[in-house]
Amino acid sequence: MKIFPAIDLFGGKAVRLYKGDYAQMTVYSDNPVEIALDFEKSGAKYMHVVDLEGAKSGGTDNIETIKKILSSTNLFVEVGGGIRSMSVIKTYIDAGVSRVILGTSAVTDSEFLETAVKTYGEKIAVGVDIKDGFVAIKGWTEKSTLTAFDFCEKLEKLGVKTVICTDISKDGAMQGANHNLYKELFSKFKIDFIASGGVSSMEDIIKLKDLNLYGAIVGKAYYTKAIDLKEAIGVCNDN
């Protein structure tokens, strides 16, 4: 299983939100590049980035910080946050981003999703954020009419290879991941699932690895030192 340590960017700083709430933001570092270098030093090969300002604006507000991370490391960097146009996808891919993550736009604009997958193939991932069994959109403030399983079925048919799946109730809460959800998804679909939300201990990492998931995102647990990144990568034989 691949470990994706995460940086959420706001104003060029590394921050974390509690359950997606901008009013509950903790700033962890003024220097995200330093954090990315620490990821690499710990043995990470992959990294998950969310542009929290882009999530609101639909732009690439933190692109300069992302470019610095790309030029300073050899990490495989995936980026999400408000990506809803082909021009923004192109900006990220041209900058050297390995994979972009579509969120709300993948739910609300099927034509855009299809065009993106046809144009960029495996460089397109989709974030499936789950609230009470349904896919949440617009920064988790609204529930769509799609169940998580219906949406994943649609994504599989379209040829989406990678899905970042977040149980919103667990995100940033340090209460453990929703292992039953990931187990069920993995058994139903031939998709590379990345677990996100609540990955808060080595026990979580080991349980997710035993499910044969493609990857897991380590966010707040890295910053609070609840998970030793080097140890997690070692346990997962991350490659």
Domains of the chain: 2-236 (3.20.20.70)
CB atoms within 10 A of CB 27: 11
For the residues 95-103, what does the mean pLDDT come to? Answer: 97
Phi then psi for residue 161, to 5 deg, are -90, -35
- Whole-angstrom Cα distance, residue 167 to residue 131? 7
- Non-local (6+) Cβ contacts of 84 within 8 A are 58, 102, 104, 105, 109, 112
Quick one: pLDDT band at residue 171, thresholds 50, 70, 90?
low
* Residue with more model confidence, 21 or 64: 64
Half-sphere exposure at residue 152, Cβ-oriented, CA atoms within 13 angstroms = 26
- Is there a catalytic annotation at residue 129? yes
For the residues 193-202, what does the mean pLDDT come to? Answer: 90
Least confident of 43-52, 144-153, 168-177, 182-191: 168-177
Identify the pLDDT of residue 95: 98
pLDDT of 64 over the 80 cut: yes
* Residue with more model confidence, 138 or 1: 1
The sign one gets for the Cα dihedral 40, 46, 52, 54 is positive
* Side chain identity, residue 72: S
Q: SS3 of 49, please?
A: strand
**Closest-CA residue to 235 (of 200, 205, 213, 192):** 205
- Is there a catalytic annotation at residue 21? no
**Which candidate in 51, 61, 129, 167 is catalytic?**
129
pTM for this model (two decimals) = 0.93
CB atoms within 10 A of CB 65: 21
